[in-house]
Structure 1
Amino acid sequence: MRKVIIGSRGSMLALWQANYIAKRLQEECNLSSEIKIIKTKGDKILDVPLAKIGGKGLFTKELEEMLLGGEIDLAVHSLKDVPVEFPQGLKLIAITQREDVRDCFLSHHYESLQSLPVGAKVGTTSLRRTMQIKLKRADLDTQSLRGNVQTRLERLKNGDFDAIILAQAGVNRLGIEGVKYMRALSVEEMIPAMGQGALGLECREDSEFAPLFARLNDENTGLFCESEREFIRCLEGGCQVPIGIHASLQDDKLKLQARLGMPDGSKVLEDSILGDRNNHLALAQEFAKRFIDRGAKEILQEASRVAFA
């Protein structure tokens, strides 16, 4: 069988992820592969906040075009960057076992969000994180922080920011050290993005390798991430909207908890629900309806107008 061509973004973290999948394909499916690096729109435009350059497909569109063109066989994504709708002819074939789902606070001088001085600068790419930071500390100056993980760490070291927020999964995967204060934020403190910590594998619907790629799917992670993605789909939200959604098991029940609102924390809705794990999509739909009935879509539309202005 021929080599599988894996498409990946070029950052250290993206290449770690692609190499991880390549190793698993070799060990578990006896498939050899090579990695092709592709620059996405989100990688090329670094001087503008993500929300201002569009909310869908910023880190996936070019990879998907190459899938459809037959130039690559598999795209490896951070699942939190993957829109909930796929182009015709493509599908999400597997969701890998989740790493740590939480966000991480990093600072060289302050041990927590609570200990930051009034007006401190906090760097983040995410409206979701900004909204939840402002909910706790309206006085903090949240600023856009673009670039790969190493670039963000360098800017923290240089004093551009008093603290930054990264995904704990990326911190773990890259073995980041040398930052005095690194603290994982509990899900209650900061609800993660849909799919955070998991990798999404995308291929053509007619791919000859699809049955082998599917072996890398993790059943529990798939259950959780499908629930989170269904919640986002019902709200018509994208990857760059201020929504935190997290699925977990509690006494064999599926628990969903979510928080959404304006980026400045001025209007925020939050709730949780417990239900049958065997009807996870229906539970996510019911949960989304609760938010919609409370004006969630109007809040998100307003949030988008502010963010994209």
Structure 2
Amino acid sequence: MRKFTVGSRRSDLAMTQSKQFISSLKAQFPDVEIDIKEIVTKGDRIVDVQLSKVGGKGLFVKEIEQALANKEIDMAIHSLKDVPSALDPEFTIACVPEREDKRDAFLSNGNVAFKDLPAGSVIGTSSLRRSAQLLAMRDDVEVKWVRGNIDTRIKKMESGEYDAIVLAAAGLKRMGWSDDIVAEYFDPESFIPAIAQGALGIECRSDDKELIDMLKTVHSDDDATCTTAERTFLRRMDGSCQVPIGGYATYEDGELYLTGLIMPEDGSEQYIVKKSHQDPKALGNLVADEMERIGAKDIIDRINETL
């Protein structure tokens, strides 16, 4: 049995979710040996600047893919939302394990619901998508960017620097936080999550058939289908962390649906399109076609021109 090396970001969350995935793989292959190589990415090194202002896609991926190309590692465990929607042909996302909660979690001092926050409250987030949706729901709050791991962000809130923060529910759950710390979970139908939020993507070299076959045993077809629809929409819209864009695919009564979101940063407009199609790539393109038809793509083009 081959010995495998996994590449992971060094953050607590990345290491935790990598170890959780390795445990699920070892449950299928008890004799396999798997090591973790910690890799520091550009996104990890830049901690004092809002990610949307750093520029470029793949801030948390490029260095890990380089290690994959150099055969220093055999597979990479990514948060799929960090992976650019267009991959180099030498790599493949061979496995999307069962997805964690895709919703956004709202945390606040005193566990106050978002609608009950006093006017002028300061909410922390590092996401333009979250910021735009918050401002669209309430134009009397202030949104400020915040970086750092989950613990750091929660401490900044508890110290009074922020009245509330918004985090991915998946990260909180993977790190073992109790639901008690969350004031509310936003409904993904009305507060659209990031593309592939809550999903992992296991990337390996396209020619590594042995590993690809192993990864199939912990692959979720439904979650892969949903994230394919979301990522197809993202690719067509030329979206990135510099653009307020979201997408949420799900099965309703056996039918695959995708809800896409595009907004300007100030939350002044909101374009939401929901479509159904049995083929995930066709579905992502359907939603993108409609976004182009109604003029939402112009928002992205304007933002991309200024970058």
TM-score band (shorter)?
over 0.9
Equivalent AA in structure 2 for residue 137 of structure 1:
R
Correspondence for 1:151: 152
SS in 2 for 1:63: helix
Cα distance in 2 between the residues matched to 1:239 and 1:6: 26
Q: CA deviation at 1:190?
A: 1.0
Residues 293 and 198 of structure 1, relative CA distance in 2, 3 Å threshold = same
Is 2:245 the counterpart of 1:227?
Answer: no
Correspondence for 2:187: 186
Correspondence for 2:8: 8
Cα distance in 2 between the residues matched to 1:182 and 1:37: 33
SS in 2 for 1:92: strand
SS in 1 for 2:114: coil
Q: CA deviation at 1:291?
A: 0.2
Deviant stretches of 4+, over 6 Å: none
Is 2:81 the counterpart of 1:71?
Answer: no
5+ long unaligned stretches in structure 2: none
Q: Residues 108 and 181 of structure 1 are in contact (CA less than 8 Å); yes or no, is this contact kept in structure 2?
A: no
Within the candidate set 249, 252, 255, 1:250 is matched to: 252
Cα distance in 2 between the residues matched to 1:304 and 1:148: 28
CA offsets 1:186-224 (integer angstroms, 9 cap, x no match): 113311111111110001112242211232210110110
Q: CA deviation at 1:245?
A: 0.7
Q: CA deviation at 1:180?
A: 5.0
Q: CA deviation at 1:157?
A: 1.6
Cα distance in 2 between the residues matched to 1:181 and 1:218: 28
Residues 301 and 109 of structure 1, relative CA distance in 2, 3 Å threshold = farther
Q: CA deviation at 1:181?
A: 4.6
Correspondence for 1:131: 132
CA offsets 1:99-132 (integer angstroms, 9 cap, x no match): 1110000012352211112121111111110111
Equivalent AA in structure 1 for residue 303 of structure 2:
A
Q: TM-score, normalised by structure 2?
A: 0.94
Correspondence for 2:177: 176
Q: Residues 53 and 242 of structure 2 are in contact (CA less than 8 Å); yes or no, is this contact kept in structure 1?
A: no
Correspondence for 2:264: 262
Correspondence for 1:303: 303
Cα distance in 1 between the residues matched to 2:181 and 2:9: 29
SS in 1 for 2:28: helix
SS in 2 for 1:24: helix
Q: CA deviation at 1:179?
A: 6.5
Cα distance in 2 between the residues matched to 1:200 and 1:243: 20
Residues 169 and 181 of structure 1, relative CA distance in 2, 3 Å threshold = closer
Cα distance in 2 between the residues matched to 1:235 and 1:59: 21
Q: CA deviation at 1:14?
A: 0.6
5+ long unaligned stretches in structure 1: none
Q: Residues 52 and 241 of structure 2 are in contact (CA less than 8 Å); yes or no, is this contact kept in structure 1?
A: no
After superposition, the CA RMSD in angstroms is 1.7
Residues 19 and 111 of structure 1, relative CA distance in 2, 3 Å threshold = same
Correspondence for 1:43: 44
Q: CA deviation at 1:55?
A: 4.0
Cα distance in 2 between the residues matched to 1:184 and 1:55: 30
Q: CA deviation at 1:301?
A: 2.4
Compare 4-13 and 180-189 and name the one that shifted more: 180-189
Residues 282 and 64 of structure 1, relative CA distance in 2, 3 Å threshold = same
Residues 120 and 305 of structure 1, relative CA distance in 2, 3 Å threshold = farther
Equivalent AA in structure 2 for residue 176 of structure 1:
W
Correspondence for 2:60: 59
Report sequence identity in percent.
39
Is 2:271 the counterpart of 1:272?
Answer: no
Within the candidate set 227, 239, 245, 1:237 is matched to: 239
Q: TM-score, normalised by structure 1?
A: 0.94
Q: CA deviation at 1:135?
A: 0.6
SS in 1 for 2:78: strand
Q: Residues 242 and 263 of structure 1 are in contact (CA less than 8 Å); yes or no, is this contact kept in structure 2?
A: yes
